[in-house]
């Protein structure tokens, strides 16, 4: 078949509902080289600090709703993104997403190659 369809809720969320939700869609979509994830963070919620040095994966974060801060400790900075803004991150860049706003934030996270 030339395409696959998935819903955000096809996989189980990997984080507790109280913080939002995180759904990895790579398996439901059967992608080979592309990871796609939906992340929702409640106010004061945050993602895991990490880099992708070992995987060599470049990541792109697209903010669908809300405002988030992407802390970049290696660059000694923080980038604030609002709805419809995007950031691309090198594999070796340490990053952590924070929702310091008043509403639930929603992002689409894309990474390749896997």
For residues 80 and 68, give the distance between their C-alpha atoms in angstroms, rounded to a whole number: 6
Question: Where are the alpha helices (H) located in 15-72, listed in sequence order?
Answer: 26-29
pLDDT digits over 3-57, tens only?
Answer: 999 999 999 999 988 899 999 999 999 999 999 999 999 999 999 999 999 999 9
Domains observed in the chain:
17-112 (2.60.120.10)
The pTM (predicted TM-score) of the whole model is: 0.93
pLDDT, the chain, mean: 95
| pLDDT score, position 16 | 87
């Amino acid at each position: 078949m030339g395409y696959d369809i998935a819903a955000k809720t096809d996989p189980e969320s990997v984080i507790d509902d109280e913080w939002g939700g995180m759904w990895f869609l790579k398996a439901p979509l059967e992608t080979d080289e592309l990871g796609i994830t939906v992340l929702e963070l409640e106010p004061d919620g945050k993602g895991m600090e990490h880099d992708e040095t070992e995987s060599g994966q470049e990541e792109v974060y697209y903010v669908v709703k809300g405002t988030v801060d992407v802390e970049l400790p290696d660059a000694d900075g923080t980038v604030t993104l609002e709805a419809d803004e995007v950031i691309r991150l090198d594999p070796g860049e340490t990053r952590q997403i924070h929702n310091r706003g008043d509403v639930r934030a929603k992002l689409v996270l894309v990474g390749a190659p896997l």
